[in-house]
Structure 1
Amino acid sequence: MTKPEAVLEPRPTGAGVLIVRNRQSGRAVVRADPSEIIARRLPDARVHELADGELLSDVVMRALGGDDPPEVLGVLGGDGSVARMAHLARCRDLPLLVLPGGTFNHFARAVGIDDPDAAIEALVAGEGTPVTAAEVSTDGAEPITVLNAVSIGTYPHVIAEREDRMDDMGKWLGGVAATWHALREASPVTIAREGRRAKVWSVFVSVGENDPDRVALMQRQTIHDDLLDVRIHHARGSRLRAVASLAFGRRTTAILRAIGLMPPDSDVQRLVAPELTLSVRTAPGAPSVYVHDGELEDGMPRQYELHCRIVPDAVRVYAPRGASE
């Protein structure tokens, strides 16, 4: 699906651009430090590195309330940081500059940005596109902007367990330990939709239609598709299949399917709609959490209502020409 490219002002020196960097993003990935290229190519951009405990939103709101407010909001970080900045950009109707600096960079890759160079090229040339997003809210609270996906069930439980272990074990070892814990302890979640109740291992809600062969939808496949793509993995099989279904790489998914570890098609329900409302109830003793764009939302009541809706053309993003195709 092709949409008109956004009309964005070229910023050859970075004037009017605020870039907030989250060094905590992508700690498990070894990559070149982009500080030098940003300073060299965008000498007039303001770059702020988040301090420990400092909130991205606080930095942006201070800048917007200053004498020289930014005209472009940029972020160097992972999907969670990008989604938070996208929400602020939406609220102020400002364009978004995405410099990938996380572990997976799902959204950056979706808009054709593989590295900071590509983002800077688009900014300098004034190339961009409007991008569809989604909103998620729980129990009527203020909605959160979502760029890739929302999930409840086994995946958020793994993320919650991993975060508990990260300080001692690091992200990758913590993830292995969390996955092992899920193999022994994962519990189904009870959901209700339109009067029908079911026990499920997971629900994934993707922004835009996604690969029909996957259960775990973590990276969007389109940037203009004005629909939610929902996968509901019913709790009919083992915990092993529940954990195996979290594979999101095409090759890994194919291998697991070939050896019979992926859930059969009959266990996975697909819905495509502009919005979705679920009543969610976790098992006693299980964490009541959900994940959006890799960010864990914890402290939820044991039973809550989750609402997702699509938002067409939600944010204007600097992106290489052709990203709108």
Structure 2
Amino acid sequence: MPQVLEWLRTAAKQVDEADRDLARCSAQLPASAADPALKGASTAANRSALWLAAAAVLASRKGPTRRGACRGLAAIAGASATTNLLAKSLFPRRRPAAELVPEHRRLSAHPRSSSFPSGHAASAAAFAAATAMESPAAGLAVAPLAAGVAYSRVHTGVHWPSDVVCGAAIGAGMAYATTRWWPLPQEEPAAAPVSTSTQSLVRGEGMVVLVNPESGNADPDVPAWVRRHWPAAEVVVPEPGFDLVPQLESAVDRHPRPVTALGVAGGDGSVAAIASLATRRGLPLAVLASGTLNHFAKDVGVDNPATTVEGARRGTVVAVDLSGVTVDGDPARCFLNTASLGGYPDMVRFREKWQKRWGKWPAAAAALARVLYASRPLEIDLDGERVKVWLLFVGNGSYRPKGFAPTRRPRLDNGLLDVRYARADVSFSRVRFVLAAATGALHRSRTYVQADRPRLDVHVHGAPVAIATDGEIRPGGNRFTFAAHDKALHLYRPAGSTAAELSRRAG
């Protein structure tokens, strides 16, 4: 132990000497136009105001940049708490003397808190690293500003260089830590076996394609796009307000030639409806994602229309699972992604009501808080076992991660349902659930249960409850039977990694 302490004292002395040498070198730099810029950047980053403004700019554009802004703010929250509430209390250190740097470079208010570590450097590194994790281009744009803020703390004489290095390390670590409860988007398509019976479609011969104009991001040029790539296909634009399946089925029945494939341009709801018809008819399906979110198409790797066209041209078809739910004995309704009971349908309703004003993620967070605060627990029999739950989640296939925010499916051919529920029959269940979700510790919480199973029977006691399938609220009931149908749906997709390559090239 004495040898260890002596080594630590020697190392600390060496770091202190290096800090003084580096700080002296910085102080001796000649005056330049960079001085007021660095001083202004250091001041602008007080209380993360600079990063809040940068996040607002990035969030104005949907997609990776908006996700990067949100992840960056989450990382800043963790980095600020770690540096200001924990590290500065545990490792008090005197700041450099103000006289060390020229007067024109000094800040008007010299900080009085512990010098170690630098909170400004931690926030800068956290925001830049987290943004880059979602959008490398946005991260590259933010990185010079973050580096400038970090160095400015030495340039203005309020931090030692080692304070900045350790603060930046904390910030980068916090950016990586966000993936524990907010995983990065899946880059490769979910694994699924290639079917042995394939039908090559070059011009769309024998194909009937339904184009849903009411999908969230429907493009009025989609029918023309389909006719341009598949000139021999029949394009069906359904009448609004009527069920999609009967309209497409009628077109299939009256088609002059035997129909060999179906296609659908729309969101997850449209794809799920047509997928049930394709499965019943034993026909492969070509998916042209044109909805708002297109979760299923992204997981399968066909969220870019060019991918589907290439798969049809090559005649490569993959077999994926398709799940269904029967409500009070009615005909089964298929779902591609998720089905849920309890608070989740209410959360979907509130999210859709608020997201036009607030944006998707703030609306989703507010909806979750609203539901957990106001909802009443469901008393259900889950495969014969009586439990009380706040919400029940059923996924088509096994999702990852196994926490509160399932986001991706590594495989779509295991024939299993992903069953998760938040228990309401333990003390302080809502508080414990929220804390466990926020800290990424749901897998160890008694309020959360997850299991994979091929079938699930649910009997809800009391009044009928609504069910949400693929984000859409459906009429409810009391008895629900969920079942996974192994490799029931056949989709056009290039074999191997071609789907991912095409998506990246087109995107």
More displaced, 87-96 or 61-70?
61-70
Which range moved further: 306-315 or 189-198?
189-198
Given the alignment, which residue of 328, 332, 336 partners 1:143?
Answer: 332
Paired amino acid for 1:292: T
Alpha carbons of structure 1 residues 305 and 224: separation in structure 2 relative to 1, 3 Å: same
Match of 1:23 in 2: 213
Letter in 2 for 1:99: L
CA contact (8 A) 1:233 1:267 kept: yes
User: TM-score normalized by structure 1?
Assistant: 0.80
**Higher alpha-carbon deviation: 11-20 or 33-42:** 33-42
1:255-314 deviation per Cα after TM superposition (whole angstroms, max 9, x unaligned): x336x8x796321111221111111246x7xx821112222212x24xx11111121121
Residue 90 of structure 1: CA displacement? 0.9
Residue 290 of structure 1 corresponds to 467
Q: Give the Cα–Cα distance (whole angstroms) in 1 for the partners of residues 252 and 423 of structure 2.
A: 46
Report 1:235-254 matches (<5 A). Answer: 235=424, 236=426, 237=428
Structure 1 unaligned spans of 5+? 246-252
Secondary structure at 2:393 match in 1: strand
The CA distance in 2 between the partners of 1:125 and 1:220, in whole Å, is 25
8 Å Cα contact 2:192/2:318 also seen in 1: no
Are residue 55 (structure 1) and residue 243 (structure 2) matched?
Answer: yes
Q: Does 1:311 align with 2:485?
A: yes
Give the CA deviation at 1:3: 3.1
Whether the 8 Å CA contact 1:110–1:220 is kept in 2: the answer is yes
1:40 equivalent in structure 2: 228
Q: State the one-letter code of the partner of 1:86.
A: A
TM-superposed deviation, 1:7: 2.1
Deviates more, 1:87-96 or 1:188-197: 188-197
Report the alpha carbon displacement of residue 210 of structure 1 after superposing the two structures with TM: 2.1
Equivalent pair of 2:433/2:445 in contact (CA under 8 Å): no
Report the equivalent of 1:269.
Answer: 449
Residue type of the alignment partner of 1:21: V
Q: Which has the higher contact order (CA 8 A, sep 6+)?
A: 1
Residues of 1 paired with 2:368 and 2:449: CA distance? 24
1:82 corresponds to 2:82: no
Q: Is 1:110–2:299 an aligned residue pair?
A: yes
Q: Contact 2:433 / 2:447 at 8 angstroms: preserved in 1?
A: no
Please tell me whether residue 123 in structure 1 is matched to residue 312 in structure 2: yes
Give the aligned length: 305
Choose which of 160, 173, 193 in structure 2 pairs with 1:3: 193
Closer, same or farther: CA 18–96 of 1 in aligned 2, 3 Å = same
Structure 1 residues 154 and 16, CA, compared in 2 at 3 Å: closer, same or farther? same
SS of structure 2 residue aligned to 1:314: strand
CA contact (8 A) 1:148 1:219 kept: no
Closer/same/farther in 2, CA of residues 6 and 32 from structure 1, 3 Å limit: farther
- Contact persistence 1:5–1:128 (CA under 8 A): yes
1:66 aligned residue: 254
CA offsets, 1:41-82, max 9 Å, x none?
Answer: 211222222332132112112112204253211111111111
Q: Is the 8 A contact 2:433 2:448 kept in 1?
A: no
User: Where do residues 87-98 of structure 1 align in structure 2 (5 Å cutoff)?
Assistant: 87-98=276-287
Q: Aligned partner of 1:43: which letter?
A: P
Judge which range, 63-72 or 127-136, deviates more.
63-72
Instruction: Choose between structure 1 and 2: higher strand proportion.
Output: 1
Indicate how the Cα distance of structure 1 residues 92 and 218 shifts in structure 2: closer, same or farther if over 3 A, else same.
Answer: farther
What's the secondary structure of 1:315's corresponding residue? strand
> SS of 1:107's equivalent?
helix
Post-superposition Cα deviations, 1:71-117, rounded to whole Å, max 9, x if no partner, equal 21111111111110000111111111111111221111222112111
What TM-score does the superposition give when structure 2 sets the normalisation length?
0.53
Determine which of 158, 161, 177 is the counterpart of 2:347: 158
Instruction: List alignment gaps of at least 5 residues for structure 2.
Output: 1-190, 500-507
CA shift, 1:137, in A, is 0.8
| Maintained 8 Å contact 1:107/1:219 | no
Aligned-partner Cα distance in 2 for 1:205–1:239: 20
> CA offsets, 1:103-156, max 9 Å, x none?
221111222112111111111111111112222112222112222221111111
CA distance in 2, matches of 1:122, 1:83: 20
Mapped contact 2:372–2:390 kept (Cα < 8 A): no
SS of structure 1 residue aligned to 2:297: helix
> CA, structure 1 residues 93+195, in 2 after alignment: closer, same or farther (shift >3 Å)?
closer
Change (3 A) 1:137 1:242: farther
Give the 3-state SS of the residue equivalent to 2:439 in structure 1.
helix
Q: Distance in 1 between matches of 2:279 and 2:198?
A: 15
The CA distance in 2 between the partners of 1:191 and 1:137, in whole Å, is 16
- Structure 1 contact 290–296 (Cα < 8 Å) conserved: yes
